[in-house]
Amino acid sequence: FGHQNPITSIDALSRERAITSGGYDGTIRIWKITEESQLIFNGPGSSMDIVKLINEENFLSGGDDGQLCVWGPLKKKPLCSVPLAHGRDESNDEPMWITSLATLLNTDLVAS
């Protein structure tokens, strides 16, 4: 019951919920604390390194594939995504990882 690898990110707002990403297990989990249950979302890449809530329903994720994703609670797939959001590393042509996210709560303003 839970992530199969160390948690790499956690976020929460006012509801009795928390959101976590599990790094190399490739999952994002919304923990419903009072109900003692969880929703599991499988990320598009091999690693889900960062999650950030936009509001009480929607959240962002990023990882080692460089993809920035917006998620909602009703779909197990991203609502939209930006592949290679930071481009590729010129020295080795690998995607630039998404390692940090910030949001202005309850708006559409996001930084990565």
- pLDDT per residue over 53-79, tens digit each? 999 889 999 999 999 999 998 898 999
pLDDT at 23 over 80: no
Q: Is residue 34 a contact partner of residue 16, using CB atoms and an 8 Å limit?
A: yes
pLDDT band per the 50, 70, 90 thresholds, residue 5: confident
Whether residue 31 lies inside any domain: the answer is: yes
Q: What is the pTM of this model?
A: 0.88
E-strand ranges in the chain read 9-11, 17-21, 27-32, 37-42, 48-53, 59-63, 68-71, 80-82, 102-103, 110-111
Asked if residue 60 is part of any domain, the answer here is: yes
Domain count, the chain: 1
pLDDT at position 103: 95
Give the range of the structural domain holding residue 88, as residue numbers without chain letter. Answer: 9-105
Position 4 in a domain: no
Instruction: For residue 3, tell me if it sits in a domain.
Output: no
